[in-house]
Amino acid sequence: MSDRFWTVIAEQHKELESARGADDVVRILSHDRNPYGPASGVGDGFFAGSGGDKTVRKALHTAGWELVWAESAVYYTMRAPDGSLITYIEGDIYRGSRSGRNTEQAGTPAN
């Protein structure tokens, strides 16, 4: 991978560390900002750097997000400080929960 690729990944990871909600994550990881090009990924967003040292999960944890469900390191749902959810599936980012389980807590919006 080129230096430019990893520069984009580092910038996205840094931005994720202050993401307050699902809208922020989708904006940061939008298809237009994907270093592979806008056609990569099938979700609402895509993190192309999953083969590197930095993870979406770690960055969002830094931003105050909590893990609410995980099947593996590449398939999980997290809740933002604003109550919104994202699901990460092998680099693809989806708004809301795709876990097949009810991850909503009383008084907290599901998406």
Task: Name the pLDDT band for 102 (thresholds 50, 70, 90).
Answer: low
How far apart CA 10 and CA 21 sit, in angstroms, is: 19
Residue 22: closest CA among 109, 82, 71, 89: 82
How far apart CA 11 and CA 39 sit, in angstroms, is: 20
pLDDT tens, position by position, 52-80: 788 999 999 999 999 999 999 999 999 99
pLDDT tens, position by position, 13-39: 999 999 999 999 999 999 999 998 887
- Is the pLDDT assigned to residue 109 strictly greater than 90? no
Helix runs in the chain, H state only:
3-16, 22-28, 56-62
Provide the whole-model pTM. Answer: 0.86
